[in-house]
C-alpha cells in the first residue's frame, strides 16, 4: 500500500481536458463538433474528454478523472488501488463523507459518484483524504444499480448549447440527451453502516499485515 502515490481515480496535471466544441444535434441533444465513436457510452450518453496520462505531472487531489471513475464504478473496483472492491453477504463496501443526519436511513436511495473501496484502502483513505478527515462513514450496500450520470447539463443558447450547471441525471430522464457526463452514478440501496474499527480489525487480522 505504500506504493500508492494517489488514488486510482485522481487526475494528474498532465491529463488536461481535450478542447472540444459542444454543438446541438437535432433530435439527439448535444454532441461534439468532431465527435468520434468513443465519446459516448453504451447508452449513448456524451462524456467529457480528459487526457489520459496517469502518473505524469502531479496528482490533483480532489479532482476525479472521468474515465477512471467510470471504469471503477462500472466494474466495482476500489477507487484507491483499482483492485476488486470488498464484498460480503451484506453487500459492497463504500467509504463516504458522513451525512447520516441528512435523512433517516442515510445513505439509502442516494445517488453516489464515489466508487467503492477494498478493506486495506480504508485506512489509507482515512489518513490521506482531507474530506474524510471531517467525518467518514463505511457503508455496505446490498443493491447498487447504475442509475445515471453526473456532469454538465446544457440548454439551447443563441449561438449554440450553453452549460447551465452540474447535476445528476437518471438514464431514463430526457435531459440525459443534454448532458456531458463526467461521472457514473450508482444508487445505493439496502445500506448497512459498518464500524470503522471493525474494518481496521478485519484488515489487521489478515496474515502478513
C-alpha cell of residue 135 = 467525518
More confident call, 181 vs 3: 181
Give the C-alpha separation, 155 to 144, whole Å: 30
Q: pLDDT (tens digit, 9 = 90+) per residue, 27-79?
A: 889 999 999 989 999 999 999 999 999 989 998 888 999 999 999 999 999 99
Q: Where are the alpha helices (DSSP H) in 66-195?
A: 66-75, 119-128, 130-133
In this prediction, residue 148 carries a pLDDT of 97
Q: pLDDT (tens digit, 9 = 90+) per residue, 122-176?
A: 988 888 777 888 889 999 999 999 999 999 999 999 889 999 999 999 999 999 9
Residue 1 has pLDDT above 50, yes or no: no
In this prediction, residue 204 carries a pLDDT of 57
In this prediction, residue 145 carries a pLDDT of 97
In this prediction, residue 82 carries a pLDDT of 96
- In terms of pTM, does the model score above 0.95? no
Q: Any idea which residue has 438514464 for its cell? A: 171
- Of 22, 51, 47, 52, nearest to 37 by C-alpha is 47
Give the C-alpha separation, 148 to 19, whole Å: 25
Mean pLDDT, rounded, for 6-34: 92
| 47 burial via Cβ count (<10 Å: 0-12, 13-18, 19+) | buried
Q: Where are the alpha helices (DSSP H) in the chain?
A: 66-75, 119-128, 130-133, 196-204
- Kind and range of the H or E run holding 154: strand 136-155
Amino acid at each position: 500500500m505504500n506504493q500508492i502515490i494517489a488514488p486510482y481515480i485522481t487526475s494528474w496535471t498532465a491529463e488536461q481536458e481535450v478542447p472540444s466544441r459542444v454543438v446541438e444535434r437535432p433530435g439527439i441533444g448535444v454532441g461534439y463538433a468532431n465527435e468520434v465513436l468513443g465519446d459516448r457510452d453504451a447508452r449513448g450518453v456524451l462524456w467529457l474528454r480528459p487526457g489520459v496520462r496517469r502518473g505524469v505531472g502531479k496528482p490533483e487531489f480532489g479532482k476525479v478523472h472521468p474515465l477512471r471513475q467510470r471504469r471503477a464504478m462500472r466494474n466495482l473496483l476500489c477507487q484507491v488501488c483499482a483492485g476488486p472492491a470488498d464484498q460480503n453477504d451484506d453487500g459492497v463496501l463504500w467509504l463516504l463523507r458522513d451525512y447520516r443526519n441528512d435523512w433517516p436511513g442515510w445513505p439509502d436511495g442516494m445517488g453516489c459518484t464515489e466508487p467503492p473501496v477494498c478493506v486495506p484502502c480504508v485506512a489509507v483513505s482515512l489518513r490521506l483524504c482531507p474530506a474524510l478527515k471531517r467525518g467518514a462513514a463505511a457503508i455496505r450496500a446490498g443493491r447498487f444499480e447504475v442509475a445515471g450520470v453526473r456532469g454538465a447539463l446544457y440548454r439551447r443558447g443563441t449561438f449554440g448549447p450553453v452549460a447551465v450547471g452540474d447535476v445528476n441525471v437518471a438514464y431514463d430522464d430526457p435531459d440525459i440527451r443534454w448532458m456531458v457526463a463526467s461521472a457514473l452514478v450508482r444508487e445505493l440501496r439496502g445500506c448497512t453502516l459498518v464500524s470503522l474499527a471493525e474494518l481496521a480489525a478485519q484488515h489487521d487480522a489478515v496474515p502478513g499485515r
